[in-house]
């Protein structure tokens, strides 16, 4: 009796039957259904698309690199040094990030967001021009929110190509992110201010001893470095001035735009700035005698 009971315990609860194998075969057949394969392919495609979208979102805008001087020595050098290894794309991203940090500082580190509305930039094209323009870099926008940085081929002839390229692209990206409803001399001064911070970590003192053409408004000068030096002086005394001025340059320009960004009449700071400048000039002249 005990042997019979033990034998029953050792028997499987669900003995294999023909119907069981039929179920297994049924499952195998169903998994090979073309509809299932199509669904799996769709899921994979959506995953790839999501990865690509996240990559594009991390850049914030599309980047295109063009070589308009392909057959020239400069074009060949540009292709070898900046296009073939994707260095041109990285240069656009790093310089853009620097400008954004200055003009649109992050106020919430958890969401990586800024309280200031950013200028909309959808696409940036970095192009080596076929011939030398008047400047090392010029920026044009043939379509709203799309920008083209035209680089001079002469940059490929510089002794330090990387340094010259970095400065040119930095200036170009500064113009991309700056609002431009302002006089040219102020925009040029803003570009020089940002480029100097990127290249030297601060605004060069070379503009501190240059006498201004207009003592009434220190930012109205054709010398971009001189304007940049005054803008730096304003930022030192009124933190956030550069960001506020850029935001004001989005709207309609008027005579009190700089005053409003400073929070005080610009003439007040201009007076103290000029006093310091003259003292510095006199000090340098006395030491040179």
Residue 13 scores a pLDDT above 70: no
Which residues have CB under 8 Å from 127's CB, separation 6+?
65, 66, 67, 68, 148, 149, 150, 151
Q: Region 118-147: what's the mean pLDDT?
A: 94
3-class secondary-structure state, position 151: strand
Strand 123-128 to 62-67 pairing: parallel
pLDDT over 90 at 214, yes or no: no
3-state DSSP assignment of residue 65: strand
- Is the pLDDT at 207 greater than 60? The verdict is no
CA distance 198 to 208: 19
With bands split at pLDDT 50, 70 and 90, how would you rate the model's confidence at 283?
Answer: low
Model confidence at 275, in pLDDT bands (50, 70, 90)? Answer: confident
Give CA 119 to chain center in angstroms: 11
Tell me the pLDDT of the chain averaged across its residues. Answer: 81
What is the average per-residue pLDDT within 124-146?
93
Average pLDDT over residues 174-203: 94
- What pLDDT is stored for residue 106 in this prediction? 79
Query: Would you state the pLDDT for residue 197?
Result: 95
Q: What value, to the nearest 5°, has the Cα angle with vertex 217 and ends 216 and 218?
A: 115
Q: Evaluate if residue 287 carries a pLDDT over 70.
A: no
Give me the pLDDT at residue 280, please. 64
Q: Residue written as tokens 């919430």?
A: 108
Q: How confident is the model at residue 53 (pLDDT cuts 50, 70, 90)?
A: very low
- According to the model, what pLDDT value does residue 10 have? 42
Phi-psi region of 167 (alpha: psi -120 to 50; beta: other; left: phi over 0): alpha
């Amino acid at each position: 009796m005990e042997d019979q009971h033990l034998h029953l315990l050792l028997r499987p609860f669900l003995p294999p039957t023909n119907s069981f194998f039929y179920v297994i075969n049924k499952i195998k057949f169903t998994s090979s259904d073309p509809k299932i394969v199509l669904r799996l392919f769709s899921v994979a495609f959506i995953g790839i698309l999501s990865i690509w979208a996240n990559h594009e979102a991390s850049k914030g805008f599309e980047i295109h690199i063009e070589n308009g001087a392909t057959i020239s020595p400069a074009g060949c050098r540009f292709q070898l040094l900046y296009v073939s290894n994707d260095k041109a794309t990285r240069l656009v991203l790093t310089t853009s990030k620097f400008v954004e940090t200055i003009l649109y500082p992050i106020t919430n580190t958890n969401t990586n967001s800024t309280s200031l509305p950013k200028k909309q930039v959808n696409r940036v094209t970095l192009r080596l021009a076929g011939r030398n323009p008047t400047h090392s870099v010029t920026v044009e926008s043939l379509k709203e929110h799309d920008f083209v940085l035209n680089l001079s081929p002469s940059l490929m002839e510089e002794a330090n190509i990387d340094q010259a390229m970095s400065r040119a692209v930095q200036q170009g990206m500064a113009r991309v992110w700056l609002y431009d409803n302002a006089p040219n001399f102020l925009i040029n001064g803003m570009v020089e201010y940002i480029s100097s911070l990127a290249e030297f970590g601060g605004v060069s003192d070379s503009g501190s001893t240059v006498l201004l053409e207009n003592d009434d408004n220190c930012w109205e000068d054709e010398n971009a470095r001189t304007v940049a030096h005054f803008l730096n002086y304003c930022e030192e005394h009124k933190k956030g001035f550069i960001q506020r001025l850029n935001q004001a340059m989005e709207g309609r320009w008027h005579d009190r735009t700089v005053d409003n960004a400073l929070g005080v009449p610009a003439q007040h700071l201009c007076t103290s700035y000029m006093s310091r400048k003259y003292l510095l000039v006199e000090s340098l002249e006395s030491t040179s005698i």
